[in-house]
A = this chain, B = another copy of it.
Protein backbone atom coordinates (compact mmCIF):
# COMPACT_ATOMS: atom_id res chain seq x y z
CA UNK A 1 0.00 0.00 0.00
CA UNK A 2 1.39 3.45 -0.83
CA UNK A 3 1.98 5.83 2.04
CA UNK A 4 -0.88 8.13 0.96
CA UNK A 5 -3.31 5.18 0.72
CA UNK A 6 -2.26 4.36 4.28
CA UNK A 7 -2.87 7.98 5.39
CA UNK A 8 -6.43 7.79 4.00
CA UNK A 9 -7.24 5.20 6.66
CA UNK A 10 -5.92 7.17 9.66
CA UNK A 11 -8.23 8.82 12.15
CA UNK A 12 -8.01 12.53 12.93
CA UNK A 13 -4.91 13.21 15.02
CA UNK A 14 -3.00 10.13 13.87
CA UNK A 15 0.32 10.66 12.07
CA UNK A 16 3.26 9.06 10.31
CA UNK A 17 6.92 10.16 10.10
CA UNK A 18 7.22 13.06 7.63
CA UNK A 19 10.28 11.43 6.08
CA UNK A 20 8.20 8.41 5.06
CA UNK A 21 5.62 10.64 3.36
CA UNK A 22 8.30 12.68 1.56
CA UNK A 23 9.89 9.47 0.26
CA UNK A 24 6.50 8.41 -1.13
CA UNK A 25 5.56 11.61 -2.98
CA UNK A 26 4.37 10.92 -6.55
CA UNK A 27 6.53 13.49 -8.39
CA UNK A 28 5.45 13.93 -12.01
CA UNK A 29 7.61 13.04 -15.03
CA UNK A 30 9.50 16.33 -14.61
CA UNK A 31 10.08 15.71 -10.90
CA UNK A 32 7.56 18.38 -9.92
CA UNK A 33 4.34 18.83 -7.94
CA UNK A 34 1.94 21.79 -8.15
CA UNK A 35 1.83 23.99 -5.04
CA UNK A 36 -1.08 26.31 -4.27
CA UNK A 37 -0.23 29.38 -2.17
CA UNK A 38 -3.08 30.65 0.00
CA UNK A 39 -2.91 33.66 2.33
CA UNK A 40 -3.20 32.01 5.74
CA UNK A 41 -5.62 34.45 7.38
CA UNK A 42 -7.80 35.85 4.59
CA UNK A 43 -8.04 32.61 2.59
CA UNK A 44 -7.20 34.34 -0.73
CA UNK A 45 -5.75 31.92 -3.29
CA UNK A 46 -2.66 33.84 -4.37
CA UNK A 47 -0.99 31.71 -7.06
CA UNK A 48 -0.04 28.26 -8.23
CA UNK A 49 3.58 27.34 -8.89
CA UNK A 50 5.70 24.16 -8.95
CA UNK A 51 8.10 22.54 -6.51
CA UNK A 52 10.76 19.90 -7.00
CA UNK A 53 12.30 17.89 -4.17
CA UNK A 54 14.91 20.58 -3.40
CA UNK A 55 12.39 23.44 -3.38
CA UNK A 56 10.14 21.55 -0.99
CA UNK A 57 13.04 20.63 1.31
CA UNK A 58 14.30 24.23 1.39
CA UNK A 59 10.80 25.57 2.08
CA UNK A 60 10.31 23.19 5.01
CA UNK A 61 13.79 23.93 6.28
CA UNK A 62 13.79 27.74 6.08
CA UNK A 63 10.10 28.63 6.38
CA UNK A 64 10.48 30.86 3.34
CA UNK A 65 8.72 29.58 0.24
CA UNK A 66 10.93 28.37 -2.60
CA UNK A 67 9.55 27.08 -5.93
CA UNK A 68 11.05 25.59 -9.08
CA UNK A 69 10.87 27.97 -11.99
CA UNK A 70 9.98 25.93 -15.07
CA UNK A 71 10.93 28.76 -17.43
CA UNK A 72 14.29 29.55 -15.82
CA UNK A 73 14.95 25.92 -14.79
CA UNK A 74 16.22 27.05 -11.40
CA UNK A 75 15.15 27.29 -7.77
CA UNK A 76 13.02 30.38 -7.33
CA UNK A 77 13.04 31.88 -3.87
CA UNK A 78 9.77 33.79 -4.03
CA UNK A 79 10.52 37.49 -3.64
CA UNK A 80 14.26 37.22 -4.38
CA UNK A 81 14.02 39.98 -7.00
CA UNK A 82 10.80 41.73 -5.95
CA UNK A 83 11.13 41.58 -2.16
CA UNK A 84 7.58 40.19 -2.01
CA UNK A 85 8.38 37.06 0.01
CA UNK A 86 6.10 34.32 1.27
CA UNK A 87 6.58 33.12 4.83
CA UNK A 88 5.30 29.60 5.38
CA UNK A 89 2.63 29.18 8.05
CA UNK A 90 1.48 25.64 7.22
CA UNK A 91 2.15 22.99 4.58
CA UNK A 92 -0.33 20.33 3.55
CA UNK A 93 -0.52 17.46 1.06
CA UNK A 94 -3.72 16.28 -0.57
CA UNK A 95 -5.19 12.78 -0.39
CA UNK A 96 -2.97 11.27 -3.07
CA UNK A 97 0.06 13.42 -2.25
CA UNK A 98 0.26 15.00 -5.69
CA UNK A 99 -0.67 18.56 -4.71
CA UNK A 100 0.84 20.80 -2.04
CA UNK A 101 -1.14 23.49 -0.21
CA UNK A 102 0.98 26.28 1.28
CA UNK A 103 -0.62 28.58 3.83
CA UNK A 104 1.59 31.62 3.64
CA UNK A 105 1.96 35.17 4.82
CA UNK A 106 2.47 37.11 1.59
CA UNK A 107 4.28 40.45 1.69
CA UNK A 108 2.52 42.79 -0.75
CA UNK A 109 1.59 41.58 -4.24
CA UNK A 110 2.10 37.88 -5.04
CA UNK A 111 1.75 38.44 -8.79
CA UNK A 112 4.56 39.57 -11.08
CA UNK A 113 2.09 42.09 -12.54
CA UNK A 114 2.02 43.87 -9.16
CA UNK A 115 -1.49 42.65 -8.34
CA UNK A 116 -2.18 41.03 -4.98
CA UNK A 117 -2.91 37.62 -6.52
CA UNK A 118 -2.56 36.01 -9.94
CA UNK A 119 -6.27 35.19 -10.45
CA UNK A 120 -7.44 38.60 -11.63
CA UNK A 121 -9.06 37.37 -14.89
CA UNK A 122 -12.74 36.63 -14.16
CA UNK A 123 -15.24 35.13 -16.57
CA UNK A 124 -18.34 37.30 -16.82
CA UNK A 125 -20.81 36.06 -19.43
CA UNK A 126 -18.99 36.15 -22.77
CA UNK A 127 -16.19 38.46 -21.52
CA UNK A 128 -13.01 37.95 -19.52
CA UNK A 129 -12.69 40.87 -17.11
CA UNK A 130 -9.64 42.09 -15.20
CA UNK A 131 -10.88 42.84 -11.68
CA UNK A 132 -7.84 43.53 -9.52
CA UNK A 133 -5.84 46.73 -9.27
CA UNK A 134 -2.09 46.87 -9.78
CA UNK A 135 -0.76 47.72 -6.29
CA UNK A 136 2.87 48.30 -7.24
CA UNK A 137 4.13 49.01 -10.77
CA UNK A 138 6.15 45.94 -11.90
CA UNK A 139 8.88 48.35 -13.06
CA UNK A 140 9.31 49.34 -9.42
CA UNK A 141 8.96 45.76 -8.15
CA UNK A 142 11.80 44.45 -10.30
CA UNK A 143 14.08 47.51 -10.35
CA UNK A 144 17.23 46.61 -8.45
Determine whether the beta carbon of B38 is less than 8 Å from that of A121. Answer: no
Q: How many copies does the complex hold?
A: 2
Interface size class of A (residues with CB under 8 A): 35 or more
Q: How far in angstroms is the closest Cβ of chain B from A31?
A: 15
Given contacts A15-B124, A19-B126, contact A38 B45 (CB under 8 A): yes
Q: How far in angstroms is the closest Cβ of chain B from A19?
A: 7
Q: Is A141 an interface residue (CB 8 A)?
A: no
**Roughly how many angstroms separate A121 CA and B14 CA in the complex, as a whole number?**
10
Determine whether the beta carbon of A121 is less than 8 Å from that of B21. Answer: yes
Interface string of A92-129 (1 = CB under 8 A from B): 11110101010000000001110100111111111111
Q: Which of A12, A14, A113, A128: most chain B Cβ within 10 A?
A: A128
Binding site for B on A (CB under 8 A): 4, 7-8, 10-21, 34, 36, 38, 42-45, 47-48, 60, 90-95, 97, 99, 101, 111-113, 115, 118-133
